[in-house]
Amino acid sequence: MDMSMRNASEAAVLPWLPGYAPLPGRVARARCLTDSDRTEIARWPIEALVPATTVLGCLRATAAAQPDKPAIIQLHRGVPGGPRSTLSYAEMLDRIERAGRVFQSHAGPGQRPVVAVVLPMVAEGLIASWAAMAVGTLLPVNPYLEVEALAGILRSGQVTTLVTTTTAAGGDGVWRDLDRLQQIMPELRHILLVGEADPARGFDDALAGVGTEAPLAGLTGPDDVVVTMPTGGTTGMPKLVRMSQRRLLIVSWNTGILMGPEPGTVVAHGMPNFHCGGLIPLGTRSLLFGQTLLTLTSRGFRDREVVANFWPLMEEFGVTSVLSTPTTAAAILQASPEGRVRHRITDFHCGGATIPVELMERFHQRFGIWLRENWGLTETHGTITGHPDPSTRPRVGSVGRALPGYTLRVVEIDDHSRIVRDLPPDSCGVVVAQGPSLMLGYNLPDRDPEFFITDPRDGSVWGNSGDIGRLDGDGYLWLSGRAKDLIIRGGHNIDPRLIEDVLDAHPAVRLCAAVAEPDADKGEMPVAYVELMEGAVTSGTALRDWCAGRIAERAALPREIHILDALPLTPVGKISKVALRFDAKRRALQRALSERFGAGAPGFELTTGPRGDQAVFAAPLAPGTAAAITEIASRLHCQTSIQPTDPEVTR
């Protein structure tokens, strides 16, 4: 840590970096290292800490102060010395204002545009996103969804403009199915393509052709809805989180002082822009603090070249701040070359999943960097906890303390979404939060009670995280997992981390996850999935024996441990427990059918949909067999689709 930021005596009395206390028209810079810092920062409204209360206003202030400074460096290959593009703050501001005019023209006079940005990690994605916030509403969407799911989200958001790319981008993004999307959505008249040669549809051509004589008008305000971000899956009616600029800037400023507020900070950008992590703590925070954002290719940390060359890239560009998932940090550790690694990183944060103790210790021993866990939700506009001091060992296993302005509680909740009581320190319960960046609500108001809950004692409203955790006596939050991730075996609640912590400590294990497998007698049974270190050899049986000697809670011993070539990951690099639970259900049904029918057990395909999982049996089955299968499947919480041999059964 660069101690020129704050010396010891300054740290004892104030949080502000020398020369960067709050002043009108500029961003305040601080490090929140002590309780006194927290108290001092919390008394300042966001209007006093940032140059403007809109994203465009902040960008204009930064571009006026440092027009030629690199705002975004876009790597086109994840190799040292490889091709890259650079965009200065002045150039970025010009392109954002041009894009705003284009989006307004698509919406029509007096109408606010709704812009869906469905892109890989390219600078044009951030330009389109910030332009959409300036004049209307941004709808950022995962580009790797199935086209039908994407169409449902676009319709739900009432999109007026879609910004995506061409098949030249490669990969299996939605750009491969644009014709299909337009068949499903003939009402979608305005599509702009990044990298398109046809000037009628090209994003760059649209920006170049717009007039800039008059100032950009019709701008959004600090409390307008400027982002609707998808959350909660892609089946059924899409659920979108409604966000405002004021709340977004609060989180951007808070994460800036947590992850590196210095003017010379270079931020490694490897998480996608359709996710809170890429858009707010990385992208918008970097813009707000006038820093340089290094975009690690269009695939980010999903690019194997980036992971393999992580340290040479960090050294080449002088990166000081990194945010990733623990799975990415583990991959970086495994791929790192032998010998001394040169870098300038002062802040390396992880979110989205718990950092295994073994990974944190090994990462620090190898690189001299503490991985610091943080936590937040889409419904809170992103990060609201963290470990503030990069120079000290974090409380391993904790996601840190609440950031300035936020309050956390661990409570018991009744069936009517009301807080019953606070739980004592170190007792597990539901984590609820209160603070200045709770969402405005969902696009579907009837879903708001899923998040907003009330304390009947004083009428206060809190956000229900859906996470299970505990607060220690010093206010540090320790998460056990999502409430939906708990494994309930015969009424016995099992924390998946009891299993995962033990497996993480095995020298052959690179990644692991424990999930519930449906069971006809116990309701659920624990099973685990493992990805091994490169070159490691072991078996599921050996790993289960390892667990048997180390898991104190006998009910938590996994029924089986499955070794996969690679664990499924979400687009932001988290282990996908949804995919693993789906696989566990498939295995459970397959095993139950084999036990009932032996070698003659019928084959099936397990599918998922709005009404739940369904086993589809293609071959015709006799009525007696069909009835037995339906009963077996229902006890495993699975529907069936069976073609009977007897026509009477279909009536």
**Concatenated DSSP letters for 382-447?**
EEEEE---TTS---TT--BEEPTT-EEEEEEE-TTSBEEEEPPTT--EEEEEESTT--SEESSGGG
Per-residue pLDDT band for 356 (boundaries 50, 70, 90) equals confident
Question: How far is Cα 349 from Cα 360, in angstroms, rounded to an integer?
Answer: 11
Asked whether residue 83 falls in the same domain as residue 129, the answer is: yes
What's the rounded Cα separation, in Å, for the pair 262 and 280?
17
Asked whether residue 43 is assigned to any structural domain, the reply reads: yes
Both 185 and 102 in one domain: the answer is yes
Q: Can you point out the beta strands (E) in 201-357?
A: 225-231, 239-244, 266-269, 292-295, 321-324, 347-350
CB 167 within 8 A of CB 143: no
396 versus 403: which is more confidently predicted?
403
Q: Which helix (H) or strand (E) holds 585?
A: helix 577-597
Does residue 348 lie in a domain region? Answer: yes
Task: Give the least confident one: 289-298, 512-521, 628-637.
Answer: 628-637
Domain of residue 505 covers: 486-567
394 and 417 share a domain? no
State the total domains in the chain: 4
Residues 6+ apart with CB under 8 A from 78: 296, 297, 303, 304, 305, 306, 307, 308, 309, 313
Same domain for 314 and 416? Answer: no
Domain shared by 528 and 605, yes or no: no
Residue 15 sits in the same domain as residue 137: yes
Q: 578 in a domain, yes or no?
A: no
Distances (CA, A) of 460 to 204, 419, 448, 454, 492: 48, 10, 15, 6, 32
Q: pLDDT tens across 163-190, in order?
A: 999 988 877 788 999 999 999 999 999 9
**592 in a structural domain:** no
Q: 566-578, pLDDT tens digit by residue? A: 999 887 778 888 8
Closest CA to 249 of 204, 217, 279, 212: 279
- Taking only the tens place, the pLDDT of each residue in 420-448 is 999 999 998 999 999 999 999 999 899 89
Question: Do 552 and 617 have their domain in common?
Answer: no
Q: Which of 386, 402, 418 is the last residue of a domain?
A: 402
Are 158 and 120 in a shared domain?
A: yes
Whether pLDDT at 235 is above 80: no
Is residue 574 within 8 A of residue 534, CB to CB? The reply is: no
In a domain, 295, yes or no: yes
- Sign of the Cα torsion 300, 301, 304, 309 reads positive
Question: Same domain, yes or no, for 106 and 38?
Answer: yes
Residue 521 has pLDDT above 50, yes or no: yes
Are 295 and 354 members of one domain? yes
Residue 357 phi, psi (nearest 5):
-60, -45
Q: Which CATH number do you get for residue 446?
A: 2.30.38.10
Residue 633 in domain:
yes
> Are 162 and 63 in the same domain?
yes
Hey, is 238 helix, strand or coil?
coil
Residue ending a domain, choose from 457, 482, 507? 482
Residue 411 lies in a domain: yes
Based on its alpha-carbon atoms, the radius of gyration of the chain, rounded to whole angstroms, reads 26
Q: End of a domain among 543, 567, 591?
A: 567
Please name every residue paired with 612 in a beta bridge, in sequence order, or none if there are none.
609
Q: Is residue 620 part of a domain?
A: yes
CATH number of the domain residue 347 falls in: 3.40.50.12780
Whether residue 539 sits in one domain with residue 453 = no
Q: What angle do CA 110, 112, 117 make, to 5 degrees?
A: 150
Q: What is the mean pLDDT of the chain?
A: 90
**Domain with 492 in it: what CATH number?**
3.30.300.30
Q: What is the pLDDT of residue 479?
A: 86
